Amino acid sequence: MQPRSGTWGHWSLLALVLCAAFFALHQSGLFDRLERMSYDARLAWLRDRTPLPDEVAVILIDDASLQAMEGLAGRWPWPRSIYAELLEFFSLAPPQALVFDILFSERTGGGGLGAPLNEDDRALTEATAAAPFVIHAARLLHEPDHENDRHATPLPPRVRERFDPAQRYGGTADGYYRAVELPSNDRHYLPFPELLQASPMLGIVDVQPDPDGVYRRLRLLHRYQDTLLPALGLAPWLERQRPPWIAVEAHRLRLGEVEIPLDEQGHYLINFYPRIPAYSFSGIMASLAKIRRGELEDLPVSPFEFEGKIVFLGASAAGLEDLKNTPLDARLPGVHLHAAVTANLLQRDFLHPYPTWSGLLLGLALIPLLVSAMALSAPAWLRLALPLIAGSGYLLSNLALFHAHTVLPLIPPLIAVILAAVGAYAQLMLTEGREKARIKRMMSQYLSPAVLETVVARHNELARAEVGSREELTILFSDIRGFTSLSEKLPPERVVELLNHYFSAMTETIFRHRGTIDKFIGDAIMAFWGAPLPAQDHADQAVLTALEMHQALEKVNAWLQQRRLPAIAIGVGIHSGEVILGNIGSEHKLDYTVIGDNVNLASRIEGLTKHYATPVLISEASHKALQRPIPCRVVDLVRVKGKRRPIRIYQPLGHPDQLQSRQLERLQRLAHDWEAVMESYLARQWELTRNLLARLPDEPLKTLYLQRVNDFLRHEPAPEWDGVYTLHSK
């Protein structure tokens, strides 16, 4: 298939340029911010009503807690004995895990190893040692100027054996398979030594925002030299599942039989929860105070509400600086990120991200596909609709996939659709502008200005220089009688003057009836109807044109007489049938023309006008195609040179728009009388034919038939005579 405008070379070059521009924009990072914004919008749509599962609970140190605890614990930071009292509350109905999103990395009041702990630190350490469900927070950092682990501060003894999941659950290094090297850290902030020694488990709280400052992802495993430590949200799940082996792979983390999808940087994409009901720390402490007093009724918060759950403790008070900008909330407590990770793991509620290069590949595939489709699309509405269909189709499918937890890049393919649409529209405007100008130049010699404008506007449908088509048309040939001898008697300049005036008058008549002039052949004119603008009444228009050409000839002859030029006579032949229409010729010279047997037949019919001394003759096919009441009489049944099948030929008798009703009725009766003559003639009823002819006005055609009838009365034709008159010349 060929493109509707331009060539495949032009469209291929356009697609290549657009792909290069798209690739450059993609590599520049221009799409990244838009993609992150679109991700946030999709996540908000997906998770608008997803609650945190009941197995996870959150306790927040909020502004109300800071105010309520000020009389008991003083201003922030509180004494660590307060957290020991919290552990006392949970010991009444132990949760599965109590996860601290609070870092206790230094002793209160300082003091190195060997120095005695102060009372608050000792209380927290002893409470932690007595609570096997506690998970404390730690941090691992990397100094940008450190190139390798040589600068790393060694971890305290037995950290790897106690807290590395591969050692803790697998038992040996064989329980850990690493296909992808995790980035290493060289600074650590662990609980102070005594608390570290008492801690049952650690979790890393470090979470880095994306370049736009929004927290969307985190690492589930952190490496420090040869030690792995879990993220704070992963730690309670590991304690619950205790997977026998761990495998870190390119785009997934395998913890036993559970596969967790990761992005191309090895981060886990957090599937946030918009509604996380939280308990106030002050409510917990108020309940503990009542329990200590023996008041067990109407507790603000019962410890049994947390039994068997995974409980996170974090801060939401504005002054504690642990509010994060996330896709669902610009001021979300940081502990919610870790709680969401644990909830995702418990419910296998994972987002499956595709790498960013998948968006690049999709865009690079969409551009040539869409450009090709627009190049092949003819209707303007389809060209306009294709980018909308492609863009909306991809958007809807992307949203459907996102709803199924598959995160496919959205912005790059949509930008690719926009680029392809803009580029294709620009190409269409340029090529169609040139194409219209070319069509206008080419067709102006064939068509009237009014028709030409319509053709140019619909050039893709109506004028294809490269492709021919079979069309049902009506063809007209006209010729000046005796022009050869006439031209020999006149000087060349007078011949040209005569022809130019004659052709101008005839062209005006043809154009008035929306005809297409095929060519001028010496003194002859070839025209057709039904193309390039389709017309159901092409036969009517051709016949009316022929009648008006003879009327215009009267004015031409008057003009010639004024210039002392001889008057001229013309004959017109018309035939309707299927022809091949197209621009035919060489690449240097094309003619918009028709070819085929029916064209030759129209030319032969024009030649018959001399034989029958009639100004206009039309074929039986044209007569049957007439839709208007144009009176026509049958002239003969003939077999032209080169044809085996005979055809009836007719003579149009008058223009219906120029006849009064009586005149029209008279001509229709005359046509009917000639039908009767032809029937009796073909039936060999010679006497009847002669009697019917006797009633008709005298004219050359009547004389011709009387001569034939008289000859047949004297010499009866052979039995195989079929009434067909065969012409042996053109």
First to last CA, the chain: 42
Contact 612, 640 (CB under 8 A): no
Q: Is the peptide bond before 77 cis (omega within 30 degrees of 0)?
A: yes
Q: Closest by alpha carbon to 89, among 253, 389, 313?
A: 313
CA distance 242 to 451: 84
CA distance 90 to 617: 112
Q: Closest by alpha carbon to 269, among 245, 254, 293, 253?
A: 253
Considering only CA atoms, give the Rg of the chain: 49
Residues β-bridged to residue 649: 619, 636
Contact 155, 224 (CB under 8 A): yes
Contact 136, 199 (CB under 8 A): yes
Q: Closest by alpha carbon to 53, among 259, 281, 237?
A: 237
Helix-strand-coil split of the chain, %, nearest 5: 45, 20, 35
Q: What pairing do the DSSP bridges indicate for beta strands 246-248 and 176-178?
A: parallel
Q: What pairing do the DSSP bridges indicate for beta strands 590-595 and 187-189?
A: unpaired
In the chain, which segments carry CATH 3.30.70.1230?
A: 463-627
- What tens digit of pLDDT does each residue of 584-632 get? 776 666 677 899 999 999 999 999 999 999 999 999 999 999 999 999 9
CA distance 582 to 591: 8
List all residues 6 or more positions away from 478 whose beta carbon is below 8 Å from its beta carbon: 506, 524, 525, 546, 549, 570, 571, 572, 573, 606
pLDDT at 29: 85
Q: Closest by alpha carbon to 123, among 133, 115, 131, 112?
A: 131
Q: Is the peptide bond before 261 cis (omega within 30 degrees of 0)?
A: no
- What tens digit of pLDDT does each residue of 302-353 get? 999 999 999 999 999 877 888 999 999 999 999 999 999 999 999 999 999 9
The residue type at 350:
F
Counting as low any pLDDT under 70, the low residues of the chain are 1-6, 110-114, 145-151, 170-175, 377-378, 431-467, 586-590, 642, 728-730
pLDDT at 502: 94
Q: Residue 67 has what DSSP assignment?
A: H
Residues β-bridged to residue 40: none
Q: pTM for the complete prediction?
A: 0.65
Q: Which two structure tokens, joined as six digits, stand for 56?
A: 């996870």
Q: Closest by alpha carbon to 308, among 530, 90, 461?
A: 90
For the chain, the residue count is 730
State the greatest distance between any 2 C-alpha atoms of the chain, in Å, as a whole number. Answer: 154
The domain defined by 463-627 folds into: Alpha-Beta Plaits (3.30.70)
